[in-house]
A and B are shown apart, each in its own frame.
Chain A
Amino acid sequence: MRRYLLSVIEPSVGDPPSPQELADIAADVAEFDRELREAGVWVFSGGLFPPATATVLRPKDGGALLSDGPFVEGKEHLGGFCVIDVEDLDEALEWAGKAMRATRLPIEVRPFR
């Protein structure tokens, strides 16, 4: 068994999908999540609020320096993720394909150490 992180790569610029499109996507993502659990590969999954809601801590003089906003401003950001346990990369890629079709967004697949 190997563990993989599937990251949903969301664009930071451009128009968001229409409410109807968003509703369709939400339904497809819920269905994908259900499928993951039924197949017994699901470890964890979740969607994230936008990067503007983030807070970053940096080590500073033995304490922490807090700052408002994301670690790096970019054209893309992490929109959500799931962690799965599967046999190998081919299986992970198959699930990533389903995630891509549900979210309509690029998915990054990375192995855990």
Chain B
Amino acid sequence: MSDPVEEAFREQYGRAVAVLVRLLGDIDLAEEAVQEAFAAAVEHWARNGPPSPAGWIITTARNRAVDRLRREAKREDRHREAALLFPGEAREEPPDRLRLIFTCCHPALSTAAQVPLTLRLLGGLSTTEIAHALLVPEATVAQRIVRAKQKIRDAGIPYRVPSGSQLPDRLQAVLAVIYLIFNEGYAASSGPRLIRDDLCTEAIRLGRLLHELLPGEPEATGLLALMLLTEARRAARTGSGGEQVLLRDQDRSRWDGGLIAEGHRLVRQCLDHGHPGPYQLQAAINAVHTDGPSTDWPQVLRLYDQLLHLSPTPVVALNRAVAVAEVAGPAAALDLVEALDLPRYHVFHVVRGDLLRRLGREPEAREAFRRAADLAGNDVQRSYLQARSSSER
């Protein structure tokens, strides 16, 4: 694939599939038509240069679909063909991709199916790319996507934005899928680094799309802000040897000022809206972390208090304890941490080890870091934690 096509592909695939699904009422037909259009684009653009990509791809895909339906000429396709020929319809209507996101993230599909389906249909990632990114065998990804499409068709999962009463729950599912994709990329589990970065980029692109299509939903805004403010610190998160650098030790000049400014602007939009939710609060916490030369910990703690009230999970309680340590000291924080039941979560042992070390309880701290290293998901994290378990750094 030549570069302008590759670029258009990433940018336009989801848009084109969304339009064609609406016109054809069938995901497989839509994907085939869009893929044929991109293949044609490679030839056409090599000779004539790129036209307006969005319009060209969608129109070509529609024409291919009409050709195919004519060739196959089944009776039940007649009304489909009629719909396709109506000239005004080969453009994206504003909610087309929004409809497609809600279909891909429908709660009747398992999360294991929602994530690859969203990456495939909206992100245009190939099965191979998704398999690499999610560290799942390619055959498994292919099977999950095929089954999900079958269920969408056979069970009648609708292609529409949910009605008012269903929207809040359904939006939660969509936000969760996007954040999961982002975290898959961000958590640096393992695998080729480049593809993992791709997942963050893709999640942010989906986040922007959702924010743009649902401007009145502050949690969509909050999720985008959260991802931007996290992404902004990527370069500073790892040292020259690939080791993890904690927030307080990060070189702030390596943060991406543009992303931070955008994230802060979105957080202020959320505040103006006045309906706080978990993503908005996490974004606000990240905004405080990235505001000025040092973190205003009492402010972070107040935000964590609110977050814990809205989502009383052990992981949130653990993160809140980190803020407590900065405001009230490591002893108070350790009491909170010891009360949590997170034995399989490596970050729990990292936080605990850190607090024990600050309290001068070195042997226990080393033991905690050793357990964290055993549980860590990737080599970079593991070697960093092994180093911490053997030194007093």
Contacts and interface: CB of A to CB of B under 8 A. Distances in A.
Interface of A: 2, 4, 87-90, 92-94, 109-111
A89 B155 contact: yes
Nearest to B108: A89
Nearest to A4: B156
Best-buried of B154, B156, B163 by chain A (most CB within 10 Å): B156
B166 A111 contact: no
A15 B154 CA distance: 37
Interface of B: 106, 108, 154-158, 160, 162-163, 166
A85 B109 CA distance: 22
* Secondary structure of the A contact surface, majority rule: mixed
A90 B166 contact: yes
Nearest to A88: B158
Closest 8 CB pairs of A and B: A88-B158, A2-B156, A88-B156, A89-B156, A111-B155, A89-B157, A89-B155, A90-B158
A29 to B, nearest CB: 23
A109 B151 CA distance: 12
A30 to B, nearest CB: 24
Contacts of B163: 90
A93 B156 CA distance: 11
A4 B108 CA distance: 14
A94 B106 CA distance: 14
Contact of B154 (A87, A90, A93, A111): A111
B158 A93 contact: no
A93 B157 CA distance: 10
Nearest to B107: A93
Nearest to A111: B155
Given A87-B158, A90-B158, A109-B155, 9 more contacts: A2-B156, A88-B156, A89-B106, A89-B158, A90-B157, A90-B160, A90-B163, A111-B154, A111-B155
Contact of B108 (A2, A87, A93, A94): A93
Nearest to A2: B156
Contacts of B160: 90
B155 A90 contact: no
A92 B163 CA distance: 14
Contacts of B162: 90
12 contacts: A4-B156, A87-B158, A88-B158, A89-B157, A89-B158, A90-B157, A90-B160, A90-B162, A90-B166, A94-B166, A111-B154, A111-B156
Best-buried of B106, B154, B166 by chain A (most CB within 10 Å): B154
Nearest to B152: A89
Contacts of B108: 89, 93
Contacts of B155: 89, 109-111
Contacts of A111: 154-156
B204 to A, nearest CB: 29
B168 to A, nearest CB: 14
Nearest to A86: B156
B276 to A, nearest CB: 28
Contacts of B157: 88-90
Nearest to A3: B156
A111 B155 CA distance: 5
Contacts of B156: 2, 4, 88-89, 92, 111
A48 B143 CA distance: 37
Best-buried of A87, A88, A89 by chain B (most CB within 10 Å): A89
A16 to B, nearest CB: 31
Contacts of A109: 155
A94 B157 CA distance: 13
